[in-house]
């Protein structure tokens, strides 16, 4: 397991019109002279349609690695899943019954967003992810802490009439991306996520709604999550990168 801080690098332009910017994830960003916390408005052209098209193109460009990698973490996260219902007075119970499955699912739920953010950022920079990237955890301690604090905040918010929990869930969507990309401490990553999402509500709420619908579609079709999982993850990466004033790589990935 790698916990280092990889350089995501600048998207490689290769002459593709409009692809990439002359700076990388670790390089100084535009508006660097602005006060801390400044977030530029979303660029024109940031849309769900463009995000979905880009995400699908990245999946088809590296299908085996992305589908297997995302699928593996999804399966691990469901090892402890159980369900029961009562029919005609008889209770039916379903579950894999794997010893320790619940613990495995809990741990995976905590750490998998770190991996998936790393893979998404790597893909958005124009580099082709491989299987080892699905076991890489940049800025592990602070990103994990940010995710735990976010989950606690969302849980507490949900207790108070549900709506605050939904709002916090939306505002903290980018926590793992901010912590992984910028190597931020937990609370700084939370503030960064909240600023990006609150400053770009009109652009990002449609992404959130489509993401929910895609997850539901994946669940209803039983195996559809194999595609909808990575599709939603990469669309989220697209939205995160674009609302910071950058573009994603739009040509065949570099190995």
CB 248 within 8 A of CB 11: yes
Beta-strand relationship, 82-87 and 90-95: antiparallel
Closest of 207, 58, 214, 204 to residue 125, by C-alpha: 58
State the residue for tokens 């670790």. Answer: 26
Q: Spell out the per-residue pLDDT of the chain, length 255, in tens.
A: 666 556 665 443 332 222 333 323 433 344 444 444 555 555 557 999 999 999 999 999 999 999 999 999 988 877 755 555 566 666 655 555 566 667 888 899 899 999 999 999 999 999 999 999 999 999 999 999 999 999 999 999 989 878 999 999 999 999 999 999 999 999 999 999 999 999 999 999 999 999 999 988 877 775 677 899 999 999 999 999 999 999 999 877 666
Please state the pTM of the whole predicted model. Answer: 0.78
Dihedral in degrees, nearest 10, Cα atoms 64, 100, 110, 247: 10
Closest of 69, 184, 170 to residue 115, by C-alpha: 69
Q: How far is C-alpha 127 from the chain's CA centre?
A: 17
Closest of 205, 165, 174, 168 to residue 192, by C-alpha: 174
């Amino acid at each position: 397991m790698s916990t280092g801080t990889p350089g995501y690098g600048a998207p490689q332009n290769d002459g593709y019109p409009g692809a990439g910017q002359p700076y990388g994830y670790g390089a100084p960003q535009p508006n660097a002279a602005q006060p801390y916390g400044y977030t530029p408005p979303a660029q024109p052209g940031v849309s769900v349609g463009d995000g979905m098209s880009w995400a699908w193109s990245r999946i088809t460009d590296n299908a085996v690695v992305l589908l297997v990698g995302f699928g593996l973490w999804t399966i691990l996260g469901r090892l402890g899943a159980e369900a029961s219902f009562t029919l005609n007075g008889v209770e039916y119970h379903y579950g894999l019954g794997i010893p320790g499955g619940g613990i495995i699912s809990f741990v995976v739920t905590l750490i998998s967003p770190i991996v998936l953010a790393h893979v998404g950022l790597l893909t958005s920079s124009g580099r082709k992810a491989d299987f080892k990237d699905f076991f890489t955890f940049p800025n592990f301690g602070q990103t994990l802490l940010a995710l735990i604090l976010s989950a606690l905040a969302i849980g507490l918010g949900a207790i108070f009439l549900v709506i605050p929990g939904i709002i916090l869930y939306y505002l903290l969507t980018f926590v793992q991306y901010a912590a992984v990309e910028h190597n931020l401490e937990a609370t700084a990553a939370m503030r960064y996520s909240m600023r990006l999402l609150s400053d770009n509500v009109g652009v990002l709420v449609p992404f959130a709604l489509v993401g929910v619908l895609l997850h539901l579609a994946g669940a209803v079709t039983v195996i559809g999550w194999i595609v909808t999982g990575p599709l939603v993850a990469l669309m989220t990466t697209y939205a995160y990168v674009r609302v910071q004033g950058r573009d994603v790589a739009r040509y065949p990935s570099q190995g």
